[in-house]
């Protein structure tokens, strides 16, 4: 990271990888914020021309900085390289298919200022229809919780707390909650916390690195906060629609890495082998359907 952090400056880091038209709306929403900020756009070897169009459209705006990678390094490594260029005392990692609202940066900084125990902060992510998306409020994905989620038993967790899955039911609004994990679509950290943790674990390529970061924040003694009164819109998956099998493979690899890194069940050789077989059997079953869906033409995505 840059040697000296500028107090009051927010560094927003967006990683693009053939992210398509939603990237334009994302950048526009960031640059429309009234707060002091810089936008670091890290391009993972995109070929769709969107980065070039953005550079032309915002040539006069010195807040926009672009870092081009010669290859697709993955999400976490690209975020780390963007953070290394950052000058702000607060870092925001934002997906390229997300749009901020006018008060987003101000509200996030205010929440961090109000509670210095928070090492990572999330907010309410809404889908294109304005409904809360999955993954806003999450628990660590232990083997038991994943089983409860996949089996459907988690739907009865209010009656049977031991059946709780990864997703948490809706909570109280209007206050900051302390959770185990939040959505990776928008994660906010004090720069000092991110530096202390060494950034994202670059052993993940895409997916699950957000859960890993939340876990390491808590293990280091900080809290993961969630503020429901702030929200962003997330189109979800704009970069992955053209490569669903590739993305699914990366996600399964990430799940395996997280399991072996954090779950005590991984110490049992039999369970470890069963999980490995189950993960890749699931991928083998899923991949043909994803490839078939990829081969079909998709209707363009429109905003309402």
DSSP 39-107: EEEEEES--SSHHHHHHHHTTT-TTEEEEEESS---HHHHHHHHHHH--EEEEEEE-TTEE--TTHHHH
pLDDT at 172: 65
pLDDT for residue 175 is more than 90: no
Mean pLDDT on 9-23: 95
> Residues of the chain with pLDDT > 70: what percent?
92
pLDDT at 5: 81
pLDDT at 304: 31
Spans of all domains in the chain = 6-234, 244-293
pLDDT at 296: 54
pLDDT for residue 140 is more than 90: yes
Give pLDDT tens digits for 192-247: 999 999 999 999 999 999 999 999 999 999 999 999 999 999 987 555 666 889 89
CA distance 251 to 210: 12
pLDDT for residue 1 is more than 90: no
Q: Which of 131, 251, 110 lies closest to 184, judged by CA?
A: 251
pLDDT at 169: 82
* Local structure of residue 242 (DSSP, 8 states): T
pLDDT for residue 165 is more than 70: yes
CA distance 20 to 54: 11
Cβ atoms of 14 and 26 within 8 Å: the answer is yes
**Cα angle for residues 104, 107, 110 (degrees, 5° grid):** 150
pLDDT for residue 21 is more than 60: yes
Give pLDDT tens digits for 49-62: 999 999 999 999 99
CA distance 100 to 94: 9
> What value does the mean pLDDT of the chain take?
91
CATH match of 6-234 with 1.10.1740.10: no
CA distance 63 to 60: 9
């Amino acid at each position: 990271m840059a040697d000296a952090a500028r107090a009051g400056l927010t560094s927003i880091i967006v990683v693009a990888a053939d992210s398509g038209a939603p990237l334009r709306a994302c950048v526009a929403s960031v640059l429309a914020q009234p707060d002091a900020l810089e936008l670091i756009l890290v391009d993972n070897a995109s070929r769709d021309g969107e980065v070039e169009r953005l550079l032309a459209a915002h040539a006069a705006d010195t807040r926009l900085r672009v870092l081009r990678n010669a290859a697709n390094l993955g999400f976490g490594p690209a975020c780390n390289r963007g953070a290394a260029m950052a000058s702000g005392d607060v870092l925001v990692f934002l997906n390229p298919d997300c749009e901020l609202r006018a008060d987003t940066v101000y509200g996030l900084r205010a929440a961090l200022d109000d509670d210095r125990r928070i090492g990572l902060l999330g907010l309410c992510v809404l889908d294109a229809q304005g409904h809360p998306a999955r993954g806003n409020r999450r628990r660590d994905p232990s083997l038991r919780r994943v089983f409860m989620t996949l089996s459907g038993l988690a739907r009865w967790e209010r009656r049977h707390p031991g059946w709780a899955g990864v997703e948490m039911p809706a909570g109280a609004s209007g206050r900051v909650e302390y959770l185990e994990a939040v959505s990776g679509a928008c994660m906010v950290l004090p720069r000092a916390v991110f530096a202390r943790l060494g950034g994202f674990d670059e052993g993940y390529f895409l997916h699950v690195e957000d859960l890993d970061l939340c876990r390491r924040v808590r293990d280091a003694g900080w809290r993961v906060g969630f503020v429901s009164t702030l929200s962003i819109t997330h189109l979800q998956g704009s970069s992955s629609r053209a490569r669903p099998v590739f993305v699914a493979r990366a996600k399964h690899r990430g799940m395996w890495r997280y399991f072996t890194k954090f779950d005590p069940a991984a110490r049992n050789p039999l369970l470890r082998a069963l999980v490995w077989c189950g993960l890749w059997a699931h991928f083998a079953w899923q991949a043909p359907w994803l490839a078939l869906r990829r081969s079909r033409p998709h209707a363009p995505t429109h905003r309402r």
